[in-house]
């Protein structure tokens, strides 16, 4: 394999937040204010994903009026249904839903709802697994509907120090499941929970359908700040090109890891030999401020 698919795909990277709330559910900013927040922060796109619950009238918030020539929106929602292994409502991120997506029925389970979102064309992500104790069994019951795990949820990180999703995605990957990663804000604007985690999507245009198709295909990486320009796997070596970094790390099955440190690293080459037995690897780029960018996991031939 030469370039990983996210980097080999045609087009350019578009920066987006895939998970945000507004006054249409439990957040404190109006939809137009939420959209202007991201537009003015230089994002290329936003998915406003209000809680799809009866008390809010099952909203798929229409953000089309807030699109401009350089900023687009994707319709979506955070959908809920009973019940996880720990007895809570599921939180499932669905990006790319039709505006008339049918309300949930009381008997519909989380995995059934995830499958209905995927069938409706959405990119489906397992939201903030650490925040509410989602188990590996829960996550496996979502397959194959789920395309990704939210590996960083900024709102959960800032608000409750439970923003991680990598523990779950690493375990799923080691069990043979091919899911992608995404980083999001899950902003509610009650405290500083916006513009901290985003997903870079490689597509030929910022057309919402093209962005959703690219997400479903895994043509993306996740970031809190650093940029990843290319990841190339040739022979037994991975080479990474990135914005100036303090370290470049490769992780894989169980304890498999390898790291290169430096000052202002813009490229790194790491040997993949120790990752071959586990069959997969992923790349982390960390900058001087400790902010990270994450590739999706990839299989080693
Ligand atoms: Zn949630
Ligand atoms: Zn949310």
Taking a C-beta distance cutoff of 8 angstroms, is the pair 61, 22 a contact? yes
Q: Distance, CA 40 to ligand 1 centroid (Å)?
A: 25
Region 38-44: mean pLDDT is 98
CATH of 8-223, one of 3.20.20.140, 3.40.50.2300, 3.40.50.300, 3.40.50.620: 3.20.20.140
Q: What's the pLDDT score for residue 133?
A: 98
Find the 186 Cα to ligand 2 centroid distance in Å.
5
Q: Which ligand is closest to the CA of 80, given by its number?
A: 1
Taking the centre of ligand 1 as the mean of its atom positions, its distance from the CA of residue 79, in whole angstroms, is 9
β-pair partners for 203: 12
Q: Kindly report the CA angle at 189 between 89 and 14, in degrees rounded to 5? A: 90
pLDDT over 90 for what percent of the chain? 99
Mean pLDDT (the chain, rounded): 98
Q: Please spell the DSSP secondary structure of the chain, one letter per residue.
A: --B-HHHHSSSEEEEEE--B--TTTT-SS-HHHHHHHHHHTT-SEEEE--EE-GGGT------GGG-BTTBEEEEEEEE--S--TTS----EEEES--TTPPPPPTT--HHHHHHHHHHTT-EEEE--TTTTT--HHHHHHTTTT--EEEEEEHHHHHHHS--B-HHHHHHHHHTT---EEEEE--B-SSSS-SSS-EEEEEESS--HHHHHHHHHHT-EEEESS--EEEEEEETTEEEEEEEEEEEEEEEESTT-EEEEEEEEEEEEEEE-GGGTTTTEEEEEEE-TTS-EEEPPPEE--
In whole angstroms, give the CA distance from residue 23 to residue 13. Answer: 30
- CA 58 to centroid of ligand 1, rounded, Å: 15
Ligand nearest to the CA of 90: 1
Average confidence (pLDDT) over 113-123: 98
Tell me what pLDDT residue 1 has.
58
**Distance (Å, rounded) from C-alpha 53 to C-alpha 80?**
7
Q: For residue 293, is the peptide bond before it cis, meaning its omega torsion is within 30 degrees of 0?
A: no
For residue 254, the CA-to-ligand 2 centroid distance in Å is: 30
The Å distance, Cα 224 to ligand 1 centre, comes to: 19
| Nearest ligand atom owner, CA of 184 | 2
CA distance 206 to 186: 21
Question: How is residue 171 written in tokens?
Answer: 């375990």
**How do beta strands 280-286 and 292-294 pair?**
antiparallel
Cα–Cα distance, 258 to 237 (Å, whole number): 12
pLDDT digits (tens, 9 = 90+) for 213-253: 999 999 999 999 999 999 999 999 999 999 999 999 999 99
Domain 228-299 CATH (choose: 3.40.50.300, 3.30.200.210, 3.40.47.10, 2.60.40.10): 2.60.40.10
pLDDT at residue 301 tops 90: no
- Residues 233, 2 contacting (CB under 8 angstroms): yes
Q: Domain extents for the chain? A: 8-223, 228-299
Model confidence at 132: pLDDT above 80: yes
What confidence tens digit (pLDDT) does each residue in 264-297 have? 999 999 999 999 999 999 999 999 999 999 999 9
């Amino acid at each position: 394999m030469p370039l990983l698919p996210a980097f080999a795909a045609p087009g350019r990277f578009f920066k987006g937040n895939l998970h945000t709330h507004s006054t249409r559910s439990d957040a404190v900013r109006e939809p137009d204010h939420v959209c202007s927040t991201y537009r003015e922060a230089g994002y290329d796109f936003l998915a406003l994903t209000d809680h799809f619950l009866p008390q809010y009238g099952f909203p798929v918030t229409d953000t089309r009026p807030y699109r401009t020539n350089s900023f687009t929106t994707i319709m979506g929602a955070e959908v809920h249904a009973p019940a996880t292994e720990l007895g809570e409502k599921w939180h499932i991120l669905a990006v790319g839903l039709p505006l008339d997506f049918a309300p949930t029925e009381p008997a519909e389970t989380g995995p059934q709802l995830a499958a209905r979102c995927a069938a409706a064309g959405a990119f489906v992500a397992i939201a903030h697994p650490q925040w509410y104790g989602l188990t590996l069994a829960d996550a496996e019951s979502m397959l194959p509907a789920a395309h990704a795990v939210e590996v960083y949820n900024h709102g959960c990180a800032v608000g409750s120090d439970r923003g991680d999703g990598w523990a779950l995605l690493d375990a799923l990957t080691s069990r043979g499941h091919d899911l992608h990663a995404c980083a999001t804000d899950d902003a509610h604007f009650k405290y500083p929970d916006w513009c901290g985690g985003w997903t870079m999507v490689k597509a030929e245009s910022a057309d919402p359908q093209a962005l959703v198709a690219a997400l479903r295909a895994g043509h993306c990486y996740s970031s809190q700040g650093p940029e990843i320009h290319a990841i190339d796997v040739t022979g037994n070596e991975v080479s990474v090109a990135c914005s100036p970094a303090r370290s470049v790390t490769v992780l894989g099955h169980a304890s498999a890891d390898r790291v290169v440190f430096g000052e202002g690293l813009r490229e790194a080459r790491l040997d993949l030999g120790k990752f071959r037995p586990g069959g997969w690897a992923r790349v982390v780029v960390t900058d001087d401020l400790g902010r990270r960018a994450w590739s999706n996991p990839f299989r080693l031939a």
